[in-house]
Amino acid sequence: MDYPYKTSFSAQIKPLVSEELDKYLAIASKQSAANFLPKGVDFNKRFDFLGFYGDAFTANKINLNDDGVGTEQAIQLAELYPFSLVDVNHTRSKCIGCVLSVTYTKFASNEILTLEEVKALKSPFTVVIGGIIWKLANPNIAELIEKSGDPNSELYGKIFLSWEIAFSKQNLIVLDKDKTNFEDGKIITDAKEIKELEGKLRANGGTGKFDDNQRIGRIAIGDVIPLGVGVVDSPAGHVRAIVPNIIEETAKASTGSIQNNEKIEKNISHSPKIVVNHNSNKSIMKIKSVSDITDETLKELKASAITDFIKEQVEDVSLKFAKDKEEKESAAKVAQEKHDALAKEHNQLKEQAQKIQAALDKIEKEVAERAKQEQFNNRMASLDNEYDLTKEDREIIANQIKDMSEESYTKYVKDFSVLAKEKNKAAKASALKAIEDAKSKEAKASTDDTKVLDDALDKAKKEVKADLPNTQKTSETLLEKYASAFTYDQFEIKL
């Protein structure tokens, strides 16, 4: 399963509740503690364990980082939390314990809810985890957590649980800027709309503002998995402080015996932001900055207090560096994912454009071929209409003109009209008409000549008959008659 999204409810320097409300959220009675601590562990005997419980997260509510989970995903996470690691400030290399139990409660209350009751909820509810801190491996941190459960300590109520998850999908939610409950907002599930708006999310480098009056957050959906629980000094979620199980031995030590007091003060002197003077008649002093180290304070401080202060500063810088590095890596990852998505989309568009271009090229080629064929057919038809062509003529002409340009074809037609003038239908028709006219004229001339001849013969006969005497004359021969009838003077000879 791919989990492209990740969220961590990291520290936010902002008080979540008033001092009065904080008192009721932070103080846990022994009776309520028994409901949330891991079952089957006798913490009075297991001095190597520090038992604790506290809010892991609140469902159906947006936290200060504008992230949240609904009922379905809250149940998924609750079922997966047992045996998850507990670290410091979400730093994996500082694993200090593990989660062993999970309980559901009403929001801002210790009233326990059953799984069936939770399934029907749309309003906020809290997932409470119980677990152990390994005291022998982490004595200083265990001491701090113990002090956070003591109302008389200045660390009281100042240590919280924060959580990280990975999830496969997300919805968005828009609420008024002073609202945090899912039921008060509009949940956006449309993938296209989510894509258009996700740039506004804080997780993606946005401002977290939908507009001037509304905020926008994301809701983890789909498959979710816990990535561990962190012990922090200010949470991003709406959670209560950790409530440690302070064993009786520690409780007695904090109220009485000088020997135990000295032992506890020694441990506290190695914890961040707390410096203890072993002289009980002198004030407890804290080093908050380098300017606090003066000649006067040096008289009151042990060397270990100064080294602890230096160590604290180094750790703070180290943690800040690690956090900045993680944020930059996360931003780089988001940027790379966006780049990869854009590159993929670009390649898809490029591929589609290439396919469209190939189709256009094919259509253009087909159109050009059809136009060329039509031009060829028109040229052949024109020549065929103008000239009497044989099959062999057509084959030769087709090979000559099939690839000719318009200019070359024009010159070819001009030359062809000279070479093939005998085959020109119009010329042949004109010649044939001239022949026919000549034959007609010649026939008429022949008819006229025959008439002249007949007229001459008739005239000759009449003259002969008129000249005949009553007496019989010597007969002329037929040759003599024609010779006398047709003299050269009677005819116009046409050459």
Structural Rg of the chain based on CA atoms = 59
Q: What percent of the chain has pLDDT over 70?
A: 70
Q: Is pLDDT above 80 for 489?
A: no
Q: Looking at residue 29, what is its pLDDT?
A: 40
Tens digit of each residue's pLDDT (9 = 90 or more) over 162-215 = 878 899 999 999 999 999 999 999 999 999 999 999 999 988 889 999 999 999
Confidence of residue 295 (pLDDT cuts 50, 70, 90): low
> What is the structure's pLDDT at 245?
65
pLDDT number for residue 83: 92
Tens-digit pLDDT profile for residues 361-392: 999 899 988 888 888 899 888 888 888 888 88
Model confidence over 38-61: pLDDT tens digits? 888 887 788 788 888 888 889 999
Question: Is pLDDT of 147 > 80?
Answer: no
Least confident residue range of 110-119, 284-293, 370-379: 284-293
473 or 64, which is more confident: 64
* pLDDT the model gives residue 10: 36
pTM: 0.47
Write down the pLDDT at residue 168.
93
Among 63-67, 186-190, 317-321, 444-448, the minimum mean pLDDT is found in 444-448
Give the residue extent of every domain in the chain: 5-268, 426-490
Q: What is the pLDDT of residue 43?
A: 74
Given this model, what pLDDT does residue 28 score? 40
pLDDT tens digits along 397-423: 889 888 888 889 899 888 888 888 788
Is residue 299 scored above 60 in pLDDT? no
